[in-house]
Structure 1
Amino acid sequence: MGYKVAVAGATGNVGREILKIMAEREFPADEVIALASGRSAGREVSFGEDQTLKIQDMSKFDFKGVDIVLSSPGGEVSAEYSPKAAKAGAVVIDNTSKFRMEPDVPLVVPEVNPEAIAEHTKRGIIANPNCSTIQMLVALKPLHDLAGIKRVVVSTYQSTSGSGKEAMDELFNQTRGIYMNEPARPQNFTKQIAFNAIPHIDSFLDDGSTKEEWKMVNETKKILSPDIRVAATCVRIPVFISHGESINVEFERDVSEDAAREAMRDFPGLTVVDHRADEGYVTPVEAAGEDDVYVSRIRKDPTVDNGLAFWCVADNLRKGAALNTVQIAETLIERFWAKERANA
């Protein structure tokens, strides 16, 4: 017997990707419900190659009888409806930032800390981490198990899709406009994004960091280890899909490049493409549409004891959001529900 699943925010970039991935992976659902705001009610969204779902108004939807809600409608909407869905008996896997740092809500990357899913019984909510955190931790987990991570310095190169469809449209329109000698008019970004790099993602905090950088620091501590020190600089670049990250790691023990490569190659969801030659690395364009996190340019960092540096890239809409959400649901079913249903 399958499950009844609701996808909240089904008309957004991540919501559409969730539906696509569920169909690709043949998620064990007997019924899938697409939810969005009232202005989208009645529209249709694709589910798989030959199916469509009619959007229902989330404000009028009764969550009773729903097993799982895969939620990506924005933080304010999620703050209202995720607790309602959980109270009605569903387990909500929330892709917004609203619940991530709440102590009684597990924050999960299935390859890294699947055991944390057991804590879903406290609130009925499981949080999906920030996109840039997810891909970094998939790359760091095998290294942490190998030699113990003390400190991470990361600079991100984040695509415009991380800010939504309108931000992607702004990149397209500005790029076209520049070739036509039209002035760039920033709307979703603080400065011109075409042919530029903006070291500003989310709002600024009192210490000079941005909230995006704060997320990477604190989510790493919650998921991997509270003892890891993280310094992050997050930058938006003129790319449509996939985030890149330059990562320097300091370890408790010595670790060789070969040992690091072997540990990463053996880790699920992680692919090493590391050839010291032209084209011997993965770029954001090549990672788009892929499920794995890709690592390249693995080398010693000679500026610290026990240091390594590497390049990491992943599709932020898939592994950085939708895929990780679906994988949490799959792990919830496989590790916690399948046996219970079999016994019942």
Structure 2
Amino acid sequence: MLKKKSGYVIAILGATGAVGKETLEILEERKFPLSSLRLFASKRSAGVELSCQGRDWKVEELTPAASFHGVDIALVSATDTISKEYGQRLAAAGVIVIDDSGVFRMDSDVPLVVPEVNAAALRLLPRGIVSIPNCTTTPLVMALKPLLDTAGIKRVVVTTFQSVSGTGAAAMDELMTQTKDLLAFRDAKTEVYPYQIAFNLLPHIGSFGDNGDCSEEVKIARETRKILDAPELLVTATTVRVPVLRCHSEAVNVELYRPLKANDARAALAAMPGVLVYDDPNKKLYPMPLDATGKDEVYIGRVREDASVANGLNLWLVSDNLRKGAALNAVQIAECLVTR
């Protein structure tokens, strides 16, 4: 575990990516106790300077020869290949690794953490690695946790509406370019996605398995069970890519073990740290990506009882996938570690 210090050396692998840049902003906003910052990215970004906490930090090229001497915590938000290559190497050198990829999430000796839900899992780090969940799983478990504690959960059915920023900067550029081209009556070119994303929906995220589920759908189910420590929980998901730049939305149907009125569900959700209940049908008040962009909270609305099943509940949630879905969650884990 970390030794108590006045400031810590933090390394960010993937510093010039969308999540890396968001991480720098969050470290500054939350006044994380930094003594130094090491930024790593590909060769084309080496030498670029990025600002954080009143200083400019030069980006270093990430190579096998890179030294991580003196680093306390490494925030890894790059590719699965980078996580595989550097995650265990950093941990073996005594660096605590907070990894954003799917490489270690389901390893039994690596905690999968959303601090508001299962911070206690950070007490033991046998491999020196902590995983953060998929950017759709994180807001989902934050909505499910208070309902689980209040009435118990038998089954979860979730449909996600995921923004293109979940794929990366190139996908955001593709959406913007396609939109401009189509509005100018030009053909849309596809590179990042198999089909046009502008003015379209793609019910396909990740790779297809033999049973027809996408890998993203499998991740959500497995990760939800692990984080909530509910191995028997029934979870099924359908994941959809939508032409939105930022923020993931989810339609969630929950079958509870005990009855729960909509107002009691709202109260339980409102008491959950990091959750903002944004729900007034009479005023057409409900969460939208425009509301949650750049915000830390998970916005929840459209809370209502489902008469089609015993003890059923419907809700709608929106979360900024680059913040709480990735960068913020990683920084919050680092904060927990330095506090302990």
The 2-side partners of 1:310 and 1:37 are apart by: 41
Please say if 1:123 is aligned against 2:127.
yes
Report how far residue 17 of structure 1 moved: 0.5
Aligned to 2:61: 57
Deviations 1:279-317 (A, max 9, x none): 311101111000000000000011111110000001000
2:334 to 311, 326, 329: 329
Q: Per the alignment, in what secondary structure is the counterpart of residue 111 of structure 1?
A: helix
Aligned to 2:214: 210
The 1-side partners of 2:220 and 2:52 are apart by: 32
- One-letter code of the match for 1:213? E
Aligned to 1:156: 160
The 1-side partners of 2:307 and 2:52 are apart by: 50
Report how far residue 51 of structure 1 moved: 3.1
The 2-side partners of 1:53 and 1:252 are apart by: 52
Please say if 1:315 is aligned against 2:320.
yes
Report how far residue 180 of structure 1 moved: 0.9
Report how far residue 113 of structure 1 moved: 0.5
2:202 to 190, 198, 213: 198
Aligned ranges for residues 87-236 of structure 1 at < 5 Å? 87-120=92-125, 122-224=126-228, 225-236=230-241
Tell me the TM-score normalised to structure 1 length.
0.95
- One-letter code of the match for 2:310? D
Aligned to 1:341: none
Aligned to 2:3: none
- One-letter code of the match for 1:68? I
Please say if 1:271 is aligned against 2:281.
no
The 2-side partners of 1:46 and 1:197 are apart by: 37
Report how far residue 252 of structure 1 moved: 1.1
Aligned to 2:303: 298
The 2-side partners of 1:267 and 1:221 are apart by: 19
Which shows bigger deviation, 173-182 or 50-59?
Answer: 50-59
The 2-side partners of 1:185 and 1:103 are apart by: 43
Please say if 1:255 is aligned against 2:260.
yes
- One-letter code of the match for 1:29? L
Which shows bigger deviation, 161-170 or 32-41?
Answer: 32-41
Counterpart contact for 1:16–1:46, Cα < 8 Å: no
Tell me the TM-score normalised to structure 2 length.
0.96
Counterpart contact for 1:65–1:89, Cα < 8 Å: no
Counterpart contact for 1:95–1:128, Cα < 8 Å: yes
Counterpart contact for 1:64–1:89, Cα < 8 Å: no
- One-letter code of the match for 1:117? L
The 2-side partners of 1:164 and 1:47 are apart by: 22
Report how far residue 53 of structure 1 moved: 1.3
Q: Per the alignment, in what secondary structure is the counterpart of residue 196 of structure 1?
A: coil
- One-letter code of the match for 1:101? M
Counterpart contact for 1:269–1:291, Cα < 8 Å: yes
Report how far residue 272 of structure 1 moved: 0.2
The 2-side partners of 1:188 and 1:38 are apart by: 22
Task: Give aligned pairs, total.
Answer: 333
Q: Per the alignment, in what secondary structure is the counterpart of residue 112 of structure 1?
A: helix
Evaluate the alpha carbon distance shift between residue 198 and residue 117 of structure 1 in structure 2; reply closer, same or farther with a 3 A threshold: same
Report how far residue 278 of structure 1 moved: 4.3
Report how far residue 11 of structure 1 moved: 0.6
Aligned to 1:10: 15
> Alignment RMSD, CA only?
1.0
Deviations 1:207-251 (A, max 9, x none): 100011011000011111112111100000000000000000001
Aligned to 2:80: 75
Aligned ranges for residues 35-54 of structure 1 at < 5 Å? 35-48=40-53, 50-54=54-58
The 2-side partners of 1:195 and 1:156 are apart by: 17
- One-letter code of the match for 2:249? G
Aligned to 1:24: 29
- One-letter code of the match for 1:197? L
Deviations 1:69-109 (A, max 9, x none): 01101110110011111111110000111111111110000
Report how far residue 58 of structure 1 moved: 2.1
The 1-side partners of 2:273 and 2:285 are apart by: 21
The 2-side partners of 1:183 and 1:233 are apart by: 29
Q: Any unmatched runs of 5+ in structure 2?
A: 1-5
Report how far residue 186 of structure 1 moved: 1.4
Q: Per the alignment, in what secondary structure is the counterpart of residue 116 of structure 2?
A: coil
Q: Per the alignment, in what secondary structure is the counterpart of residue 156 of structure 1?
A: strand
The 1-side partners of 2:55 and 2:243 are apart by: 33
Q: Per the alignment, in what secondary structure is the counterpart of residue 131 of structure 1?
A: coil
Report how far residue 202 of structure 1 moved: 0.8
- One-letter code of the match for 1:243? H
Percent identity reads: 49
Could you list the structure 1 runs, at least 4 aligned residues long, displaced by more than 4 angstroms after superposition. none
